[in-house]
Amino acid sequence: MEIRCKKIIDDHVQRKVVAAEMKNEVLVWVEAVHEHDAKNELQQLYKIQHVEKGQLVSLECALPISPDFIVSLDSSFLLVQSRCGHNHRVMEHNALIINRKGETVKTFSVGDGITGLVVNCQGLIWCTYADEGIFGVDDSVIPIGREGVAVFTLEGVQVVNPLDLQLIDTYSLTLGVEEEIFIFGEDTSCRKKLFQIRDERLIASCPVTCKDVEPEQLSYQEGFFIGAEGAQLYRLELKKGALHVQDSVTCVDEEGSLLTGLTVIGTNEIGLFNDDGRIFIGEWGR
């Protein structure tokens, strides 16, 4: 499968991209700049950037976390660091919401060991967790992600989770076209499975036939998925009650030349930070 991409940035600048989101044909990314001492507390300086009407738009802000995830909200950004510790049995804050001026609106904890994060149309944050977030690294603290998946409001309040998926590890999650949640994880049978959730209820689960597949990103469109594992992309399809790897996915520019680098996938679209500094976006389908 081949995705043809168009160039949106051609400055050949090497970027230290730490988090990115591709949504509604807009690629948003976070770049680490340098350390910045804000109010006697060492913070990292970042730039949140996107392209608007052909122009690069940049918001510079000092953050107390090192974000691994970014989600664009109506008038703000949700930034989340995947790991967090605890202080006297209280989990450190690893999630914050900042407005479009770079000002912090809210901080809270969503737990340690986050592997995936989405915000649905109801404004609920869904997080999945790796084994260290499920079982914890310190017996003195009950892990927030002990169920393998947790749900929060944008105020940082954890919602009661009615699911019991028996997860021992997860790799990624994504939203479906009807706002269902797909979770790629491993349950107590030690088998990788795809779990489909709608209205906070498990409606289906199916085994994954390829044991080596562990997508860090997942996107769904009309019966098939695109998975991303580092710079590797592949297509997965549901057939006869199981999820199969169909073929690899390559990205090329408008002249057909191969593109390689950090990728971020959204619903039916992809953003790519090419190794030479150029930035591309494209659409994927059958």
User: According to the model, what pLDDT value does residue 91 have?
Assistant: 83
Q: How far is 225 from 265, CA to CA, in rounded Å?
A: 11
Residues pairing with 160 in the sheet: none
Q: What is the pLDDT of residues 119-137, one digit of tens each?
A: 999 999 999 999 999 998 8
Q: How far is 284 from 286, CA to CA, in rounded Å?
A: 7
Which two tokens mark 127? 């997080």
Q: How far is 164 from 162, CA to CA, in rounded Å?
A: 7
User: Do residues 32 and 48 make contact, with C-beta atoms less than 8 angstroms apart?
Assistant: no
Count H helices and E strands in the chain, helices first: 1, 27
Residues 6+ apart with CB under 8 A from 261: 231, 272, 273, 274, 275
Q: How far is 217 from 44, CA to CA, in rounded Å?
A: 25
Low-confidence residues in the chain, pLDDT < 70 = 35-42, 88, 285-286
Q: How far is 151 from 126, CA to CA, in rounded Å?
A: 5
Q: Report strand pairing: 258-259 vs 261-266.
A: unpaired
In Å, what is the CA distance from 108 to each residue of 79, 93, 155? 11, 5, 8
Which two tokens mark 62? 């000092």
Question: Is CATH 2.120.10.30 the right assignment for the domain spanning 2-283?
Answer: yes
Q: What is the pLDDT of residues 66-124, one digit of tens each?
A: 999 999 999 999 999 999 988 767 789 999 999 999 999 999 999 999 999 999 999 99
User: Do residues 209 and 245 make contact, with C-beta atoms less than 8 angstroms apart?
Assistant: yes
Q: How far is 18 from 194, CA to CA, in rounded Å?
A: 27
Residues pairing with 37 in the sheet: 42
